Structure 1
Amino acid sequence: MGPVTNAGMLPSGEWEPVEIGESDADVYRRADGAEYAKCADLAGVGELRDERDRIVWLAGTGLPGATVADWIETDAGACLVTTAVPGVAAADLPASAYDRATEQLAGVLRALHDLDPADCPFTRPLTDVVRQAEDVVRRGAVNPDFLNDEWRAERPEDLLARIQADLPRMRESADLVVCHGDACLPNLFVDPETLAPTGLIDLGRLGTADRYTDLALVTTQLRDEWNADPAPFLKAYGHPDADPAKLAFYLLLDPLTWG
């Protein structure tokens, strides 16, 4: 993590900086582990406020996750304090738990996707996401660490061109649900013993979007991080015949949007 710049906005108590997620905000854990705080300067207040609102909304659906404990806004920025989600990230599970965890992860993701999208006040239109990718590529801000070996051999502009060429077809086939938006294994928490889901974290991208936004990330992470066949996950989720072209599209789009 970079220099701690926003510690002055933290609530009273003992806090320690931690490195978590891909956010530019400074993240801290309370010494007793009960709460986390994410602090942003003025430029990041809007994004942090959006994340706060998504946490509040998801908590009202009954799905497991953090709750907002405090919101502090000053002339210098803002600080979002949330309760700690119990359990461990799916990314930290031992290999012996992978088979049992697969069905649980499929279940919580399906429960999220089964929420009525009409009730969700947050949207991530595909055209907006592609514009975000266009901006990242234009600024030369694509992080090569987020690209696989095949993609690193190509120019980001050429990767983006592939996305733009497929965009009309993907818009026509969109299957809109409430998506996490960054459904990778570090953001899905489970009980280490029962493997029951205990919460979804890092909700800054939550909103209605094509379900493949999430399916592409989870299935690839299962393959890359767990060295596991994603087929059992897709079967448990209810999409055993997932469209490989859509999985590939959303998998390529995601790394172009971080930067």
Structure 2
Amino acid sequence: MNAREVAEIPTGPVPVPVAVTGLARGDEITPVWRNELGGLTFRLAAPDGSTRYVKWVAHGTPEIDLTAEAERLAWAGRWVRVPRVLGQGADADGVWLVTAPVPGRSAVDTRWLEDPVTAATAIGQGLRRLHDALPVADCPYEWSVADRLKRADERIAAGEGPADWSPEYRHLTVVEARARLDETPPVDRLVVCHGDACAPNTLLHDDGTFSAHVDLGSLGVADRWADLAVAAWSLDWNHGPGYDHLVYAAYGVEPDRERLAYYRLLWDLG
């Protein structure tokens, strides 16, 4: 990825926020994910076998708006399978979102890390299904280049530079990288994008077929390559190089190198 903290399945002790303990009401609490900004996801397992998931972020965590995510999940759930919102709230420490489980295992589950071909194929198929199902004309959300460039400029102003970027772009100066982002390629096809189509956010059934998407907090209308660029790139981060072509093939497109390069740089900076 880049020099920022990496998203991962926690392997050591994770402090459980007071709010999560309260929401559990005695259910077994298991940390299942830590994102690159420090947000946490916990699985709550009840004695009767039922489960819930709680996403929690500290107040002031940039780029994570769980209220916005709850709205997007409710909207997208009219057409595609996404987690159903069970509740949300906040206290003095942070904000949380409770959702029902959806079938499947993340594409970065150990099983699919050992079978990257299946994972890559399901990611491409799932992304195409999402893009085809969600109606652009009815979508009230955007994931526009203009808004993302504002965030890139904020990060640059805060002092981020090549050391914070992925290796592919560290040879560029800040001025060079920002100038490239002013040369936005023409839109290929507007779709409702996932907004964070990295491998961990795709779930697979046990037979290797696509099941569902999670983490739709940035969902909005954009060029489909904004999603494709990151979905295929994330195979390198999580499964190793050499599988990105399977994402394009399963989606049904030939790789567009210009748009891939642009949207990956935009992702890195913004």
Structure 1 length as normaliser, TM-score?
0.82
Alpha-carbon distance change, 31 to 142 in structure 1, aligned in 2, over 3 angstroms: farther
The answer to whether the Cα contact below 8 Å between 2:112 and 2:118 also exists between their aligned partners in 1 is no
Matched, 1:195 2:214: no
Alpha-carbon distance change, 187 to 144 in structure 1, aligned in 2, over 3 angstroms: farther
RMSD (Å), alpha carbons: 2.9
Counterparts of 1:223 and 1:39, CA distance in 2: 28
The answer to whether the Cα contact below 8 Å between 2:37 and 2:61 also exists between their aligned partners in 1 is no
Structure 2 length as normaliser, TM-score?
0.79
Counterparts of 1:217 and 1:197, CA distance in 2: 18
State the match for 1:20 in structure 2: 34
The answer to whether the Cα contact below 8 Å between 2:77 and 2:84 also exists between their aligned partners in 1 is yes
Gaps of 5+ in 1: none
Alpha-carbon distance change, 3 to 245 in structure 1, aligned in 2, over 3 angstroms: same
The answer to whether the Cα contact below 8 Å between 1:216 and 1:251 also exists between their aligned partners in 2 is yes
Matched, 1:8 2:19: yes
Counterparts of 1:3 and 1:221, CA distance in 2: 25
State the match for 2:142 in structure 1: 123
State the match for 1:206 in structure 2: 219
Query: What does 1:61-140 align with in structure 2 at a 5 Å threshold?
Result: 61=79, 63-74=80-91, 77-92=94-109, 93-94=111-112, 97-114=115-132, 115-140=134-159
Deviation (angstroms), 1:69 = 1.4
Task: Pick from 66, 84, 90 the counterpart of residue 48 of structure 1.
Answer: 66
Indicate the percent of aligned positions where both proteins have the same amino acid. 30
The answer to whether the Cα contact below 8 Å between 1:6 and 1:40 also exists between their aligned partners in 2 is no
Deviation (angstroms), 1:200 = 0.9
The answer to whether the Cα contact below 8 Å between 1:89 and 1:186 also exists between their aligned partners in 2 is yes
Gaps of 5+ in 2: 1-9
Counterparts of 1:198 and 1:144, CA distance in 2: 36
Query: What does 1:115-194 align with in structure 2 at a 5 Å threshold?
Result: 115-141=134-160, 144=163, 147-164=165-182, 166-167=183-184, 170=185, 172-173=186-187, 175-191=189-205, 193-194=206-207
Alpha-carbon distance change, 229 to 8 in structure 1, aligned in 2, over 3 angstroms: closer
Deviation (angstroms), 1:13 = 3.2
Alpha-carbon distance change, 7 to 174 in structure 1, aligned in 2, over 3 angstroms: farther
Letter in 1 for 2:167: D
Give the secondary-structure state (helix, strand or coil) at the position aligned to 1:71.
Answer: strand
Aligned residues: 249
The answer to whether the Cα contact below 8 Å between 1:179 and 1:207 also exists between their aligned partners in 2 is yes
Alpha-carbon distance change, 42 to 98 in structure 1, aligned in 2, over 3 angstroms: closer
Alpha-carbon distance change, 35 to 23 in structure 1, aligned in 2, over 3 angstroms: farther
Letter in 1 for 2:138: D
Deviation (angstroms), 1:183 = 0.8
Alpha-carbon distance change, 38 to 100 in structure 1, aligned in 2, over 3 angstroms: closer
Deviation (angstroms), 1:113 = 0.8
The answer to whether the Cα contact below 8 Å between 1:130 and 1:253 also exists between their aligned partners in 2 is yes
Counterparts of 1:60 and 1:66, CA distance in 2: 11
